[in-house]
Structure 1
Amino acid sequence: MTRNPVLRAAVIGTGGIAGAHAAALADLPDRVELAAVADIDSSRAAAFAERFAIPAVYTDAESLFANEALDLVHICTPPRSHAPLAITAMRAGVPALVEKPTALSLAEMDELAAVQATTGVPVLTVFQHRFGAAAVRLRALAESGKLGRPLVATCETLWYRDDSYFEAPWRGRWENEGGGPTMGHGIHQFDLLLSILGPWAEVTAMADRLARPTDTEDVSTALVRFDSGCLATVVNSVISPRETSRLRFDFEHATAEVEHLYGYTAADWRFTPAPGQEHLAQLWTAEAGPDRKGGHALQIEAILDALAAGEPPGVSLAEARRTLELAAATYASAFRGRPVAAGELGPEDPFTRSMDGGAVPWNPIKERSA
């Protein structure tokens, strides 16, 4: 049996989420080596390298790519730098796995797509909730038609971030994060929603800044119609003291639902057949896989499997754009006060160029703590 070579990976950015990437890579020593790290803060980069036994340290991406032969780079920096760094990686010939959101606007996503088409190097997005065993199982059952048509769904990201969370100068600003919880928090949940239900057709939404010292919204709500006819509600909040993440899918023949916070196992899911469809419960149980927490490790393993097999890894730029388009349409609907259809936001639309569309109805916060 021929053994696949150990791949070489690097991490750019050493903030909190970078630790999840490095820990996942460290658990796969026979498959991937974390060879280098880059951060503009040299002392922070050095401390991160020591923590994860990383041999090479750089203070900029250009030096990293000039000196390291890499198979994959993990971009874990604040959102504003995601697209520029992904472009740098593609031009260096290195596939990039980018933390959400991939870009701050649909226009940036289209720029990434253009560079990807030219270089042939993929950009992938961290949407790790797609890769949990229960989600993979539900997606397969939905696609098989055994559950019948999807009819109703709910998707709630009800989290809590106090005022001090937004003291970081890049948080809560359109130009740095692209948006509030719709872009930075709930996007994981409604990406999983889309991965199960398929293409969305229309969204009607509201968004507001009710409590936090931000320029962006701190809550949004949306009603989404899918191509299948399914209707879904999507709520994204950072002002909810009892934190939870909930998704529920009502098909003709069964309900599947999950409640968790920042990651789920199969045990967090509940499956309820409709009367007369009790045999589906056995099917759900029979096809259960290992009960591992859905997180970065599962997506990274899936990426390594795809790279080793010469197959396209997920989550592709096209799939990530569909998710980001729902975020853009949520803002456009909320601020324009009308429904927005999928595909309606063309290249010249203000909500394609930026998530706020130049139409935020509240005043920006003028002064902040550093």
Structure 2
Amino acid sequence: MSVTHPRARVAIIGTGGIAHAHAEALRDLSDKAEIVAVADVDEARARDFAERFGAAGIYTDAAALFDAESLDLVHICTPPQSHVPLALLAQRAGVPALVEKPIALSLSELDVLVASEATTGVPVLTVFQHRYGEAAQRLRRIADSGALGRPQVATCETLWYRPAEYFDVPWRGRWEVEGGGPTMGHGIHQFDLMLAILGPWSKVTAFAARQSRPTDTEDVSVALAEFDNGALATVVNSVVSPRETSRLRFDYEYATVEVEHLYGYSDRDWTFTPAPGHEHLAELWRAEGTEVSGHRMQIEAILDALVAGERPGVDIHDSRRTLEFAAATYASAFRGTPIRAGEIGEDDAFSQSMDGGVVPWARLKGAAA
């Protein structure tokens, strides 16, 4: 599917906080795209957003938007519970959709989109912008060349802080609306990048807890992952960590490559350390970029792919692998057993929902009642 207009005609559904990041990115890409319409159940908010970003069409109903507008791409920036229904609407309208994470609340829900894409041929993409930063792209190229040797150890940490008041928003911290806690809504960006670098995972052993936040979901999870290539990784997702940081470290046979940032990185946040005797590998890194990883990089790559008639990323199958890692984290934590890739079948409770119906503190709450 290719873009048929000189500039891509784009709409944004949902005009809350994250939609502004999308709109600012599209403004920076105004030679390639224009925001022609917005939709939000809050008409006043939609109107203010449209005026700010120059969109002519204003709708309070997504179906009406698709009926009235000729679009090349739609950005879905609504709460997670609505992602799949809106993406299905876009597919039926023949419009590729870029969906904020998490793309779906469960594997079974995501598989509805997979089936719809197979039928309609209309792609649904997930926002995983950290894959598109210059350093991540460079690392993938160098690692894929074999110059760094085999990956052996990795560390993936999303140590963030969200006060109790953060969860006053009705859809936050609820399994049925948000899909999960920091594993689904926060750390997923970091471990998606880890998976993009290391490739297929084979087994996960995990723990999850509700340490102190007023949520139904976890506020911390910790996982140990094994990969098909033999690498081992630790993954920590937290919203109770006062000193906030996001950190990824990859230890290859011949070098360590790591990044520490918070919500976006540039080359200056990365370090490259060759192993003794392999100092010449530093010449391959040459990190000089200044742009911070963000929505603009991924959106530009999507627009370019649509124009070229190529398959844009991050596609539905990549998204499913990342979502399956989240599901395996929960399944292992709540069942107390390792989970292998592919083990969560369509009839499994953890395919139907990320809590699997066996969250320990939910049972305790029910017993107390």
The two structures have a TM-score, normalised by structure 1, of 0.96
- Structure 1 residue 234, shift from structure 2 partner: 0.1
- Return the offset for 1:291: 2.6
SS at match of 2:110: helix
C-alpha offsets along residues 1-32 of structure 1, whole Å, 9 cap, x if unaligned? Answer: xx971110000001100000000001111110
Percent of paired sites with the same residue: 70
Amino acid at match of 2:294: G
Say yes or no: does 1:186 pair with 2:184: no
Question: Is the contact between residue 82 and residue 102 of structure 1 (CA under 8 Å) also seen in structure 2?
Answer: yes
Q: Secondary structure at the match of 1:80?
A: helix
**CA deviations over 1:189-228 (Å, ceiling 9, x no partner):** 0000000000000000000001000000000000000000
Give the whole-Å Cα distance in 1 for the aligned partners of 2:5 and 2:223. Answer: 45
1:1-370 maps to which residues of 2 (within 5 A)? 5-285=6-286, 288=287, 290-363=289-362
Cα distance change, pair 124–279 in 1 and its aligned pair in 2 (3 A): same
Secondary structure in structure 2 of the residue aligned to 1:124:
strand
Q: Secondary structure at the match of 1:302?
A: helix
Question: What is the alpha-carbon root mean square deviation over aligned residues?
Answer: 1.3
Give the letter aligned to residue 80 of structure 1: Q
Quote the Cα distance in structure 1 between the aligned partners of 2:111 and 2:149: 35
| CA–CA distance in structure 2, aligned partners of residues 26 and 5 of structure 1 | 16
TM-score by length of 2: 0.97
CA deviation after TM superposition for structure 1 residue 363, in Å: 2.5
Q: Secondary structure, in 3 states, of the residue corresponding to 1:333?
A: helix
C-alpha distance in 2, partners of 1:266/1:323?
25
Question: Which amino acid in structure 2 is aligned with residue 232 of structure 1?
Answer: A
Contact 1:200–1:225 (8 Å) recurs in 2: yes
Q: CA deviation at 1:232?
A: 0.1
Distance in 2 between residues matched to 1:220 and 1:354, nearest whole Å = 17
SS of aligned partner of 2:256: strand
Change (3 A) 1:314 1:121: same
Which runs of 5 or more residues in structure 1 are unaligned? none
Distance 1:72 1:290 in 2: 28
In structure 1, C-alpha distance between the alignment counterparts of 2:5 and 2:274, rounded to whole Å: 43
In structure 2, the gaps of 5 or more residues are none
Which 4+ stretches in 1 moved above 3 angstroms?
none
**Aligned letter for 1:341?**
R
Alignment coverage as a number of residue pairs: 362
Cα distance between partner residues in 1 of 2:247 and 2:331:
25
Tell me which moved more, 310-319 or 4-13.
Answer: 4-13
Return the alpha-carbon distance in structure 2 between the equivalents of residues 279 and 161 of structure 1.
Answer: 43
Per-residue Cα deviation, 1:109-138 (whole angstroms, up to 9, x for no partner): 110000001100000000000000000000
Aligned CA distance change for structure 1 residues 364 and 101 (closer, same or farther; 3 Å): farther
8 Å contact from structure 2 (residues 204, 328) kept in 1? yes
Alpha-carbon distance between aligned partners in 1 of 2:143 and 2:343, rounded to the nearest angstrom:
27
